[in-house]
Structure 1
Amino acid sequence: MSFDVIVVGARPAGASTALLLARAGLRVLLVDRARFPSDTLSTHQIQPPGVALLRRWGLLDALLAAGAPLVRTARFDPGPAVLEGAYPGPDGVLSPRRTVLDALLVAAARAAGAEVWEGFAVTGLHVTDGRVAGVEGTPRGAGRPVTATAAWVVGADGKHSTVARSVAARPYRTRAARSGAFYAYVDGLALRGGEMYPRPDRLGSAWPTNDGLAVAFLSVPAHRFAQVRSQGLAAGFAAGFAGLGDLGERIAAARLAEHVRATVDLPNTFRVPYGPGWALAGDAGLVMDPITGQGIANALRDADALAAALIAGLGGAAPLPAALAAYHRGRDRERRAMYRLTTGLAAFGPDRVGRRLYPAIADDPAEVTRFLGVLAGLVPAGPYFGPANLLRLTVARRRTGRRAHPARWRGGLDVPEP
């Protein structure tokens, strides 16, 4: 069994990559140990750049029809001030259940012509002359090993990627896990669009999802995870939301529709995303704390860029090593500042910049929209939190006329990198 490309992992990064490659006429095999629909731990959020890609690929209408509303406004309540406004551009944030999103993407890949093997566990890579040339694995229940070969293998199999481990993909900019996360589906929770409540020792948020439910997310410093969990998941979850504006009261009055999920397995790292015969997409190549909800949109953006590189390289339009090197550079350039912001927020350090910034922009709808655009990945975080812009937003607006120099942004919002 030989293919042009084998994609390992059929969640958003892998299924989208397979979809785009198959639409371009390549022979694609998409494999996953799960069978779909299948659930997985997730923050659910698809930020506007990811929503725009789903729209371009012709998949957004079907996802909306499945019942997850598109949220175009958000409330950001850090304590010193409340920022409420609209996201920039025509797209908002979508928070579908993964049983819905992942199954839709797998079905779209299959409809585009990709061969899909569900329930197939990849146990290793097939290597020829020092180059990855396929995968080895076992269909669930069959017991007989199978080898499938390809010109290229894409690892889209998550933060503990078998492909990345097998090729020893080099990690860099690694940060230890900084937070623990809890989430649950809540019935009867009225929301003001999306809602986010960052505090020095936790962050709570809630977003509408499928079936009239909301997904409520709680992040705490990693060292507090065991303490919160020791109260019992439901009790610790409810206690974590207490005092977060009136969101805690609304969650306490609502009903948990399912059990609380929790994890402290939240690494932060970049990996070199390509080598001889292989490439990485999604969390396999770059994973960051879910506190900013970037994972799914990043996966879709990786799929779009990596598929373009493989189509150009395998089709002879460009040298494949050069196309993959450009994919690597573009990914890092686009994500570096958001990675710093995310790992900084997950560290739950002092927010000296925020204490001045939030009150300064709370009454300016255009600036609130720009700030929400930063959180959504639409407005570059580095320039926004740069000294010149912070001076413009804070010092220039103070009525005292006294000049001050806000702390230089070092990530989240001003937590120095370790």
Structure 2
Amino acid sequence: MYDAIVVGARCAGSPVGMLLARQGHRVLVVDRATFPSDTISTHYIQQRGLARLRDWGLLDQVIATGVPPIGHMTVSYHDIVISGFAEPINGIDVTYAPRRTELDTILVEGARAAGAEVRENYTVRELIIEDGVVVGIRGAVAGGEVTEERARIVIGADGTNSFVADAVGAETYTKVGAECFVYYTYYSGLSHTEFHSRIGAGQQIGIWPTNDDRTLVAVMRKLDAYPDFRGDVENNFLSIARDIVPEFAEELVSKGKREDRFYPMRYPDNYRRQSFGEGWALVGDAAYHKDPLTGLGISDAFDYAALLAERVHEGLTGERPMTEALADYQRERDEKSQSGFEFTCSISTLELTPQLLAVFRALGSNEEYAKDFFAMIGGGMTGEEFFAPERIAKLLGATASA
């Protein structure tokens, strides 16, 4: 009998399993993958996410993989360019974008080191539900015999197509339609060591360094262009680079060497699902998902895995009723993620509202306020704080009088 079973061992599952195990709970973490294992991802971890890794004792391992630090960011919208970086956030003055083969393995091993039992190459076939309460799982390691494992709570950390969410009938209560699709790949031979997110007319390109002297290059277009785009991915990919950052496109062609295939991301709608019930909870993309344009997914997974672990601990120890603790988890997650969710849904249309356009224009000519913008992106300031009416009024007024 386990205290908790966690289904899914990546950016949300391994941390919640690790944190519960560190608090003395008996934890089983299962995943269909065998690690190291890759997965579709933006790779990017903001300062707040790195602070989590540091506090968990895992950041040095990530840095040791050789992933280069990022200390400067450029965000643009047509002719508006916002350039700079946030002041240190929780003592973190750079960001990183590690390959998931590296990051997820470190997280899995962190869960193991904490005392959690981790079963890789394991598929959950069924949730055990008795009198409306989830009490365990049935599943097997590939080629092995199906076994039954029971726990006081089963946590689904198994992504957007969550088996656990489907099995319990978790309802979606917030949904904003997806606007775009992404293709990305990796190049060697490029000089870019900074973070770029550049938006043009109905399209975007992202550029940032990752492990093994590779640069991740991603392009985004509106969904209606998907059928034509996939008919000639490479030329369409380069066309977006030429349209938005022609100097980079030239380097891509003359010096770059593509080292991998093109990875498509035709992701689901932005949503929030009911994330708890009798004997179960959801975390990570299983619970809450948004467009990858702002790259908040990994850091959010860390933050809300930590929050869920705190609330589950309260329920397991009898400090408060489990259902009450889990309801607080969902409420607090929704409150803390609201500004990031709204900003992501707005900017991922690749068309700024008049108000946001005015803000971007002002930021492009105001270095100090640009630092605040990057602080919001990095997690040192909430969206509510950054977009507070008095702050925006000062920004727009300072720009008008300059």
TM band (smaller chain): over 0.9
- Cα distance in 2 for partners of 1:28, 1:399 equals 59
User: Structure 2 matches for 1:14-413, cutoff 5 A?
Assistant: 14-89=13-88, 90-91=91-92, 92-142=94-144, 144-231=145-232, 233-245=233-245, 246-253=247-254, 254-399=256-401
Q: 1: CA distance between counterparts of 2:354 and 2:17?
A: 44
State how far apart, in whole Å, the 1-side matches of 2:120 and 2:146 are.
15
Contact 2:366 2:399 (8 Å CA) reproduced: no
Q: CA deviation at 1:350?
A: 4.1
Gapped regions of structure 1 (runs ≥ 5) = 401-418
Q: CA 1:132 to 1:303, structure 2 compared with 1: closer, same or farther past 3 Å?
A: same
8 Å Cα contact 1:80/1:359 also seen in 2: no
Q: Secondary structure at the match of 2:51?
A: helix
Unaligned runs of 5+ in 2: none
Which secondary structure state, in structure 2, belongs to the residue aligned with residue 239 of structure 1? Answer: helix
Question: Residue type matched to 1:244 in 2?
Answer: I
Closer/same/farther in 2, CA of residues 266 and 248 from structure 1, 3 Å limit: farther
TM-score (norm 2): 0.94
Paired residue type of 1:72: G
CA-atom RMSD in angstroms: 1.7
AA aligned opposite 2:137: V
Q: Deviations over 1:163-187 (max 9, x none)?
A: 0111111211112221101111111
| Distance verdict in 2 for CA 1:225–1:192, change over 3 Å | same
**What's the offset of the Cα at 1:332?**
0.3
Deviations 1:319-356 (A, max 9, x none): 32222121111100011121111111222234433443
Post-superposition shift, 1:302?
Answer: 1.3
1:392 CA drift (Å): 1.9
Report the Cα distance in structure 2 between the residues aligned to 1:368 and 1:60, rounded to whole angstroms. 27
Identify if the C-alpha distance between structure 1 residues 354 and 248 changes in structure 2 by more than 3 Å, giving closer, same or farther. farther
CA shift digits 1:82-123 (9 cap, x unpaired): 222122323232210010001111111111111111111112
What letter is aligned with 1:3?
Y
How many residues end up aligned between the 2 structures?
397
Return the alpha-carbon distance in structure 1 between the equivalents of residues 353 and 240 of structure 2.
20
CA distance in 1, matches of 2:19, 2:320: 18
C-alpha distance in 2 between matches for 1:203 and 1:389: 28
Structure 1 contact 13–156 (Cα < 8 Å) conserved: yes
Which of 70-79 and 8-17 deviates more? 70-79
d(CA) in 2 for partners of 1:330, 1:304:
12
CA gap 1:220/1:376 in 2 versus in 1, 3 angstroms: farther
Amino acid at match of 1:315: T
Give the letter for the 2:213 counterpart.
G
1:143-171 Cα deviation digits (max 9, x unpaired): x3211100110000000100011111121
Residue aligning to 2:5: 6
CA contact (8 A) 1:153 1:279 kept: yes
Q: 1:381 to 1:174 in 2, by over 3 A?
A: same
Residues in 2 aligned to 1:369 and 1:395: alpha-carbon distance in whole angstroms: 17
Q: Find the aligned partners of 1:81 and 1:269 in 2 and give their Cα distance.
A: 30
| Alpha-carbon distance between aligned partners in 2 of 1:275 and 1:252, rounded to the nearest angstrom | 53
Secondary structure, counterpart of 1:40 in structure 2? coil
Q: Deviations over 1:376-395 (max 9, x none)?
A: 34322234334443322114
Q: Is the 8 A contact 1:237 1:260 kept in 2?
A: no
Check the 8 A contact 1:175/1:268 in 2, yes or no. Answer: yes
Cα pair distance change 1:236/1:397, threshold 3 Å: closer
